Amino acid sequence: MPMNKDIRFVVEDAGEVSAILSRPQNAESLLVLAHGAGAGMTHPFMESLATELAAIRVATLRFQFPYMEQKRKVPDRPPLLTATIVVAVKTATKSAPDLPLFAGGKSLGGRMTSLAASQQQLGDVRGLVFFGFPLHPPNQPGTKRADHLREVKLPILFFQGTRDALADLKLLHPICAALGARATLHVIETADHSFHVLKSSGRTNADVLQELARTTSAWTQKLSRS
């Protein structure tokens, strides 16, 4: 079982926010994991993903955005969200200076992490992991939200479901192709934006979580050695 440590850090102009460092004894890397728009760091998906990652030697630092810490429903503006991510990354670096560092998150959390990366604000982060990149609003196909990815110089791992209403794969494939060797797209068949899969797939949601964790671990290990 990983050691969970409660942490608090200060975001300028927004006050303190909560975080959880989950580190297994044999950790090989650390992923700063930002939550999605509608649920915080203790959402079952975030909890389960952190547990699965710890089981295969990936530590995580989960944290609250200020609006979630303050129990507000409407997300903060992007500059405050990215500022929070920058402080979370710095906190992770101090908490585990011995581990190769990665960053990303679920939906909004991943997109805002990519925005911070496009502004070269993430220090020693070696790569980004997106668990459901929200390419466009539900069932409103578009690519504007990905324009800044051209400015991201880091390797990126995209996890996307074939039933994700926030990411038309016909639009995401060419975006990844344009990013070249920096981008890896891992498609989960029949998964929606929450990575729930259809019963007809013959798989369970737990199976998918294990796939997300195993793939993340293999990807981070490769980058940690390079």
- 44-103 pLDDT, tens digit per residue, is 999 999 999 999 999 999 999 999 999 999 999 999 999 999 999 999 999 999 999 999
pLDDT score of 220: 97
Q: Average pLDDT, stretch 132-157?
A: 96
Q: Is the pLDDT of residue 226 over 90?
A: no
| pTM score | 0.96
Q: Which CATH number fits domain 3-225: 2.160.20.10, 3.40.50.1820, 3.40.1280.10, 2.60.40.10?
A: 3.40.50.1820
- Burial letters for 115-131: b for 16+ Cβ neighbours within 10 Å, e otherwise? bbbbeeebeebbbbbbb
Residue 16 has pLDDT above 90, yes or no: yes
Q: Give the pLDDT confidence score for residue 124 in this predicted structure.
A: 94
Separation between Cα atoms, residue 178 and residue 199, nearest integer Å: 34
Query: What percent of the chain stands above pLDDT 90?
Result: 96
Q: What residues contact 56, with CB distance under 8 A and at least 6 apart? A: 213, 214, 217
Output the pLDDT for position 225.
83
How high is the mean pLDDT of the chain?
96
Q: Which residues contact 88 (CB under 8 A, 6 or more apart)?
A: 9, 19, 32, 34, 61, 63, 103
Helices vs strands, H then E, count in the chain: 6, 8
Looking at residue 64, its pLDDT comes to 98
3-state SS assignment for residue 91: helix
CB 63 within 8 A of CB 84: yes
Three-state secondary-structure class, residue 183: strand
Angle at 41 between CA 183 and CA 167, to 5 degrees: 35
- The size of the chain, in residues, is 226
- Partnered with residue 5 across adjacent β-strands are 21
CA pair distance 9, 167, nearest whole angstrom: 32
Q: Would you say residue 1 has pLDDT above 70?
A: no
Percent of residues, the chain, with pLDDT higher than 70? 99
The structure tokens listed for 180 are: 């070249």
Q: Which residue has the tokens 């934006």?
A: 193
**What pLDDT score does 139 carry?**
84
